[in-house]
């Protein structure tokens, strides 16, 4: 053991020890630079920015710069078909020539979805339902109807029923009831009707009782009949007016239309 410790103290050991360390360091340096040279470390060209570019143009750009490419597709609502929306590696990344660049484009063929049932849904409900199905509202027409919900849905000019298949992202034209019925109604002929019956007929037609003018001597206000009205209605003719129009009446003492006293 003493001889071993004595050897460690000799000049020959120190020379061998430092020579071994130097050899290891030299090998590491040579390996590092050799690997860097072999892999062309730090060399390459930046990947071009391709997002938003038409797929044909993106393919040509990659080809001109010496890159390969692989393309996948996905459907994205409201994005132009054939547009690049993703790329890997990202733009600006330094890569070697002939590197494969992975692209994702918006497919040109939209998948079909099932037309939802919009019956009994109002405008806001219909918009929300269509959005959930990946559909959109096109032109909206409000039609005179006592209903206030969707009356009809059309696609490409044709009425479409619930359950039909249509491309995702399609616009549907809707016809919505305005909840008020017809915008114009026929004025009832009230002449010779008693006042209560005339009032009932006016309200039933969606009109408003206007001014009531009493003509002549009225001895029994419960027994008066309509002698004139405005707007007037001629026999065998139809007069229309807007909903809520005031109908003015002129009444006189007389018998009721049913002939009772």
Alpha helix stretches (DSSP H) within 40-151: 55-64, 123-132
45-106 maps to CATH 3.30.465.10: no
**Run of H or E including 142:** strand 136-143
Residue 118 makes CB contacts below 8 A (sequence gap 6+) with: 126, 129, 130, 149, 150, 153, 162, 174
* Closest C-alpha to 252, from 192, 167, 165: 192
pTM: 0.44
pLDDT tens profile 132-188: 998 999 888 887 777 788 999 999 889 999 999 998 888 999 998 877 666 678 899
* 112-177 CATH fold: Trypsin Inhibitor V; Chain A (3.30.10)
Topology agreement, domain 112-177 and domain 184-253: yes
> Residue 41 above 90 pLDDT?
no
Strand pairing of 136-143 and 171-177?
A: parallel
Q: Comparing C-alpha atoms, which of 107, 173, 162 is closest to residue 136?
A: 173
Closest by CA position to 156, among listed 143, 141, 142, 139: 139
CATH architecture observed for domain 184-253: 2-Layer Sandwich (3.30)
Question: Mean pLDDT over all residues of the chain?
Answer: 84
pLDDT value at 40 more than 90:
no
Where exactly are the structural domains of the chain? 2-39, 45-106, 112-177, 184-253
Query: Is 68's pLDDT higher than 70?
Result: yes
């Amino acid at each position: 053991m003493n001889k071993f410790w004595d050897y460690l103290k000799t000049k020959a050991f120190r020379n061998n020890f430092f020579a071994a360390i130097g050899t290891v360091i030299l090998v590491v340096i040579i390996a590092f630079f050799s690997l860097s040279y072999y892999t062309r470390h730090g060399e390459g060209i930046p990947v071009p920015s391709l997002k938003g570019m038409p797929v044909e143009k993106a393919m040509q750009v990659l080809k001109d710069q010496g890159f390969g490419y692989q393309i996948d597709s996905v459907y994205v609502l409201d994005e132009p078909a054939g547009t690049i929306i993703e790329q890997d590696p990202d733009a600006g990344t330094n890569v070697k020539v002939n590197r494969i660049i992975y692209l994702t484009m918006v497919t040109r063929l939209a998948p079909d979805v099932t037309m939802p049932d919009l019956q009994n849904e109002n405008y806001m409900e219909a918009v929300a339902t269509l959005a959930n199905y990946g559909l959109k509202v096109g032109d909206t027409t409000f039609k005179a109807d006592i209903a206030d919900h969707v009356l009809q849905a059309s696609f490409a000019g044709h009425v479409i029923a619930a359950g039909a298949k249509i491309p995702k992202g399609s616009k549907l034209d809707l016809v919505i009831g305005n909840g008020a019925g017809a915008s114009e109604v026929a004025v009832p002929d009230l002449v010779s009707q008693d006042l209560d019956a005339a009032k009932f007929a006016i309200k039933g037609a969606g009109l408003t009782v206007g001014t009531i003018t009493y003509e002549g001597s009225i001895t029994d206000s419960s027994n008066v009949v309509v002698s004139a009205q405005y707007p007037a209605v001629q026999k065998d003719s139809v007069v229309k007016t807007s909903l809520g129009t005031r109908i003015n009446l002129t009444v006189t003492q007389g018998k009721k239309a049913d002939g009772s006293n």
